[in-house]
């Protein structure tokens, strides 16, 4: 067998034991505290009297945080990814920018640790099954890394290999990160992390089961087999385990790299993303809920949107789908009472919610529906919608009398549609949202 075994200077062994991972957290806390003291001395030497937040939220401390989370990988890194996307409106820009690097960058395993994982899953002679295996990963993310290989009959594969110890460390990792953030004051005390952390735990336990992801991918392919607009890998079940997912290799351009392409192409990509979202919600009632840009590529030769990751796929309750249909109908007809009825049924608030909070939630829903209610194309590149939603969301989020948390399925759906909006904004796309709706709304 031909193979590629280069020495990777950036590879870092994944800490597996709970003690080793907790020690990393302790080292991170110590480093942040040391950086805080150094910044305080520097500011005092200049005659300034710095606030605690100014000493904590230095670029050096933010880099320490991102670097250690990328070394730990697993749930610890996932929290950083979720914060960069879900809490970006609440955390300082310097921290948000550096945490954003975690969405697509992780350190890979060293060769010895990778071999250990492969042998434990496929046996000592696993290499005999392939004509070529590239030991240098082509991608590395929060819970696993991807390698290229070729079968003996020439099929090109993408093999996703889970970092050892990830599954066992999910709950403790997330609790440790939460304690670190609380202790260090890196995040403002007004931000309630509990719903986000519980979401991260549930999502990571599902994503860490690669056999479940394989079934989700096969199901997703069956749902989209009537469409020529999307491209997904095929599963090679004979090599799949709970820790290894083997798929055909599909390739395209990262969606984030399309910002320099033509307006027409950017509009097409964003339109496909919205069309897929509406089909997932109203037709399939099955949704890939992770909007990480790294999960999407675009094949310029076939003009198809490439879908890559299905670990966060989930079925949606019929009742929830019906109520979101009511929101679309009410928004299109300008019926605020209808929005109130659907929002209450979904669980955005209840009968005990104060009137001012209820009105703020409805204001947010109406803002989010603004592109949907626009006749013709909505120009995401020249809209201040995100800023208006941010300001309205801050009014609600910083009001500590409002503690109501929507059901987890609604949180996942919000995150997905937020990711689609973010993609359209990043591409500065112009999209006719109403044209992407299923026929039931036209």
35-46 pLDDT, tens digit per residue, is: 443 443 344 344
Task: Name which residue leads in pLDDT, 364 or 292.
Answer: 364
Q: Which residues 6+ apart lie within 8 Å of 145 measured at CB?
A: 106, 108, 109, 137, 139, 160, 161, 163
- Tell me whether residue 329 is one of the annotated catalytic residues: no
Scored b (16 or more CB within 10 A) or e, 109-137 reads bbeebbeebbeebbeeebeeebebbbbbb
In angstroms, the Cα distances linking 378 to 21, 124, 270, 385 are 46, 56, 11, 11
Tell me the mean pLDDT in the region 420-434.
Answer: 94
3-state secondary structure 87-133: CCCCCCHHHHHHHHHHHCCCCCCCHHHHHHHHHHHHCCCHHHHEEEE
The answer to whether 256 and 226 are in contact (CB under 8 A) is no
Report how far residue 113's alpha carbon sits from residue 180's, in angstroms, rounded to the nearest whole number: 28
Under the banding of pLDDT at 50, 70 and 90, the label for residue 424 is very high
In angstroms, the Cα distances linking 156 to 118, 139, 248, 304 are 18, 16, 6, 19
Dihedral of CA atoms 344, 346, 350, 351 in degrees, nearest 10, equals 40
pLDDT value of residue 153: 94
Q: Residue holding tokens 């009968």? A: 351
pLDDT digits (tens, 9 = 90+) for 150-188: 999 999 999 999 988 888 878 877 777 677 666 655 555
Which of 251-260, 349-358, 398-407 is the least confident region? 398-407
Sign of CA dihedral 348, 364, 419, 58: negative
Task: Name which residue leads in pLDDT, 194 or 70.
Answer: 194
Q: Closest by alpha carbon to 414, among 211, 196, 215, 237?
A: 196
Which of 12-21, 194-203, 285-294, 307-316 is the least confident region? 12-21
Tell me the mean pLDDT in the region 89-103.
Answer: 50
Catalytic residue among 173, 267, 290, 309: 290
Mean pLDDT of the chain: 79
Percent of the chain with pLDDT over 70: 69
Is 70 exceeded by the pLDDT of residue 278? yes
Give Rg (Cα) of the chain. 23
Is 60 exceeded by the pLDDT of residue 309? yes
pLDDT value of residue 411: 80
Under the banding of pLDDT at 50, 70 and 90, the label for residue 75 is low
Under the banding of pLDDT at 50, 70 and 90, the label for residue 392 is confident
pLDDT value of residue 351: 85
Under the banding of pLDDT at 50, 70 and 90, the label for residue 86 is very low
Task: Name which residue leads in pLDDT, 296 or 104.
Answer: 296
CA 410 to chain centre: 16
pLDDT value of residue 25: 42
pLDDT digits (tens, 9 = 90+) for 231-261: 999 999 999 999 999 999 998 999 989 999 9
Q: Which residues 6+ apart lie within 8 Å of 432 measured at CB?
A: 271, 376, 377, 378
Which of 100-104, 146-150, 222-226, 422-426 is the least confident region? 100-104
pLDDT value of residue 146: 92
Is 60 exceeded by the pLDDT of residue 53? no
The SS3 of residue 170 is: helix
């Amino acid at each position: 067998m031909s193979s590629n075994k280069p020495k990777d200077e950036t590879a870092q062994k994944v800490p597996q034991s709970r003690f080793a991972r907790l020690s990393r957290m302790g080292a991170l806390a110590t480093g942040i505290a040391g950086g805080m003291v150094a910044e305080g001395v520097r500011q005092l030497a200049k005659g300034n009297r710095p606030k605690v937040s100014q000493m904590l939220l230095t670029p050096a401390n933010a880099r320490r945080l991102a670097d250690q989370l990328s070394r730990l990988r697993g749930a610890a890194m996932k929290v950083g990814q979720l914060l960069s996307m879900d809490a970006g409106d609440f955390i300082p820009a310097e921290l948000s920018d550096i945490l954003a690097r975690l969405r697509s960058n992780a350190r890979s395993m060293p060769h010895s640790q990778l071999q250990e994982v492969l042998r434990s899953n496929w046996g000592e002679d696993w290499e005999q099954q392939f004509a070529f295996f590239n030991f240098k990963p082509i991608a590395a993310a929060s819970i696993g890394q991807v390698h290229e290989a070729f079968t003996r009959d020439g099929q090109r594969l993408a093999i996703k290999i889970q970092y050892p110890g990830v599954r066992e460390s999910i709950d403790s990792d997330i609790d440790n990160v939460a304690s670190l953030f609380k202790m260090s004051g890196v995040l403002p005390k007004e931000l309630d992390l509990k719903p986000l952390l519980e979401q991260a735990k549930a999502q990571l336990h599902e994503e860490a089961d690669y056999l479940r992801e394989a079934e989700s991918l096969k199901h997703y392919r069956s749902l989209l087999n009537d469409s020529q607009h999307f491209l997904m890998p095929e599963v090679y079940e004979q090599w799949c385990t709970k820790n290894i997912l083997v798929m055909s290799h599909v390739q395209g351009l990262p969606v984030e790299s399309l910002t320099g392409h033509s307006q027409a192409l950017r509009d097409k990509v964003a339109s496909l993303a919205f069309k897929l979202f509406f089909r997932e919600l109203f037709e399939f009632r099955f949704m890939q809920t992770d909007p990480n840009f790294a999960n999407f590529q675009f094949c310029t030769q076939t003009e198809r949107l490439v879908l890559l990751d299905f670990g966060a796929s989930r079925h949606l309750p019929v009742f929830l789908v019906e109520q979101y249909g009511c929101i679309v109908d009410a928004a299109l007809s300008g019926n605020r009472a209808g929005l109130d009825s659907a929002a209450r049924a979904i669980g955005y608030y209840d009968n005990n919610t104060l009137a001012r909070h209820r009105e703020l939630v409805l204001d947010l829903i109406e803002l989010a529906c603004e592109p949907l209610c626009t006749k013709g194309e909505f120009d995401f590149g020249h809209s201040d919608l995100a800023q208006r939603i941010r300001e309205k969301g801050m009014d609600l989020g910083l009001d500590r009398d409002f503690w109501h948390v929507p059901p987890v399925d609604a949180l996942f759906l919000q995150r997905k549609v937020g990711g689609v909006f973010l993609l359209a904004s990043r591409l500065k796309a112009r999209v006719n949202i109403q044209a992407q709706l299923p026929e039931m709304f036209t």
